[in-house]
Structure 1
């Protein structure tokens, strides 16, 4: 029997690409998301890799539904080896125009959805071993205007994850807990997220194709990394707010609105997936393929950092030797 992974948010976007990556590596995959039709189509594609794929329509905001999905996965596929929390929801709106219901719903999906996943996974992994991957964001460290619900939820995930990590160490259980913080990614969320700005939303460049974070998530699940920052843009955003948070506040006050919106008007009847799934044959990619990157140099160097350190050290030694010869030392 092969290894088993659960991926939430697996119907589209990063979750869909992540499910594909694990299937290509031989994992049997349980796909959790709300839209049954989209899950069935995704599962059919994954089975082409010769693995089992189990679509389970699930709203991760519902703890009982997540627990039932975990039970069904273990009954039909076997013990869960890896649980990946990807599902999210966002709202493009200033705080002054948000409703309490919108804040609650976005928080339940993005924050409590990951909490529910962690709890269900941990319940089963305590007595054996396993890996939990939480998908975070650079916006957990550097919040931006117009996405307060999402940024707040991602920051909360950091807090909960850090608490759980210390408890895992205290209890001496063999569970690996890791976080992958993502940059801007080309997914359908920019077409179906609730948007009150009157213009279509867009990711802030540089934009990465969803297969890039999928590879990073798989790497994090199979290597002992506490956290992985994906892309130089994530590193810059995280470090900038540590070094000069006031300057970052002012910069985003000026550029944070235009950077997240196009000049194209958003139709009044545009779909929103905050409370209900948006039907349609959406996949991993959004509408930004022409401007998205298929690779991350930073992630490549992070995965092979020992080799790069060795090359850099050898190069430095060579240059030092040449300089010494020229100086007659």
Structure 2
């Protein structure tokens, strides 16, 4: 496959979790993948995976909170490959803590990575996409972009900010008649290493709120969103329920989460107060896409399939409705007895 025929894809937070799963998904398609993350060792392991699948890899040990480093990485990518076709903003950090125990420094750090990292990535992508009037930017969001939950106020605030920022930039692109597509993928709870290394003040070890999905489901959805012009893509039935439920009954959500939101984010085991966390620097270790919840994580999502096959689903529904109508007409015309 010729170099000029391969997509040039940038993925932040690429060395673990959803980012690592997304790298693997794109690597199946003989892509040029430029992976950004902080941990150089895991980036090299990611590079080996990409090249083992027949794709081309470039790695950049970058903290996305450093806007100059993000811009420099984008410049190097374009200098080598001539363009960026797809930019996927995914890197994140969080803190599990009641708000009143958070420090300003922690709040700033979560915001700098999880929100400003998306802003800087979008800036870098548009710098090189706008002259070509072509490209796609995928913002990896969350149902928490619409519905905040307790114990993660900084992360929820950042995801809300990404949603508003994305709408604003999208409107500007429409105004300027720029043919660059900006989409957001709203994820459910995902089985990633996040819950092993996120800074926490909780008395018990943290966990995602069930139901928990495997990261491959998210990765396939991100790949689909990068190639289909959908404004937003909700992943998993829980994301749709949370987002639409919050529109209709946000007060009910407040009270439900006040009662259930603390326990549902904690395991039965006590937390280790001396456990390392990745807020300021990466945690070393053999982490990849999956976390420790493989035994309970959902491997397939009918909702995602239906959401990414809407014309087919609509056609099947219409066919079923026509068949049902014809059957009922036939039954009505049949004599009650013969």
In which range does the TM-score fall when normalised by the shorter chain? over 0.9
- 97-106 vs 236-245, which deviates more? 236-245
Which SS does the other structure have where 2:131 is aligned? coil
TM-score if structure 2 supplies the norm length? 0.96
The equivalences for 1:38-57 within 5 A come to 38-57=42-61
Residue 146 (structure 1) aligned to one of 151, 162, 182:
151
Rg larger in structure: 2
The equivalences for 1:8-27 within 5 A come to 8-27=12-31
Given that 2:173 and 2:180 are in contact with CA atoms closer than 8 Å, whether structure 1 keeps it comes out as yes
Deviation at 1:198, TM superposition (A): 2.0
Segments ≥4 residues shifted beyond 2 Å: 75-78
Say whether 1:195 aligns with 2:214. Answer: no
Distance 2:324 2:182 in 1: 41
Distance 1:213 1:144 in 2: 21
Residue 69 (structure 1) aligned to one of 64, 67, 73:
73
Distance 2:221 2:253 in 1: 27
Residue 186 (structure 2) aligned to one of 181, 199, 204:
181
Given that 1:186 and 1:285 are in contact with CA atoms closer than 8 Å, whether structure 2 keeps it comes out as yes
TM-score if structure 1 supplies the norm length? 0.98
Say whether 1:32 aligns with 2:36. Answer: yes
RMSD across aligned C-alpha pairs, in angstroms?
Answer: 0.9
Distance 2:207 2:188 in 1: 13
Say whether 1:216 aligns with 2:221. Answer: yes
Instruction: In structure 2, list runs of 5 or more residues that go unmatched.
Output: none
Residue 235 (structure 1) aligned to one of 240, 252, 255:
240
What is the match of residue 321 of structure 1? 326
Given that 2:29 and 2:55 are in contact with CA atoms closer than 8 Å, whether structure 1 keeps it comes out as no
Given that 2:78 and 2:128 are in contact with CA atoms closer than 8 Å, whether structure 1 keeps it comes out as no
Aligned residue pairs: how many?
Answer: 329
Given that 1:52 and 1:77 are in contact with CA atoms closer than 8 Å, whether structure 2 keeps it comes out as no
Deviation per residue, 1:39-71 (Å, 9 max, x gap)? 001111110121210110000001001001111
